[in-house]
Amino acid sequence: MKKYILLFSLLLARTLAVHAQDDQPGDDAKKQERIKALYVAYITQQLQLNPDEAQKFWPVHAQLESELKSVRSNIPELDKQQSILNIKKRYQENFNRILGANRCERFFRMDGDFKHKLLEKIRNNRQNKPMRPKTRMRL
- pLDDT, block means (10 residues), the chain with 139 residues: 52 54 68 92 94 95 95 92 95 95 94 92 82 55
pLDDT value for 25: 57
pLDDT value for 4: 52
CA distance 80 to 71: 7
Contact indicator for 46, 117 with CB cutoff of 8 Å? no
pLDDT value for 13: 55
Sign of CA dihedral 111, 81, 34, 6: negative
Contact indicator for 57, 95 with CB cutoff of 8 Å? yes
**pTM for this entry:** 0.69
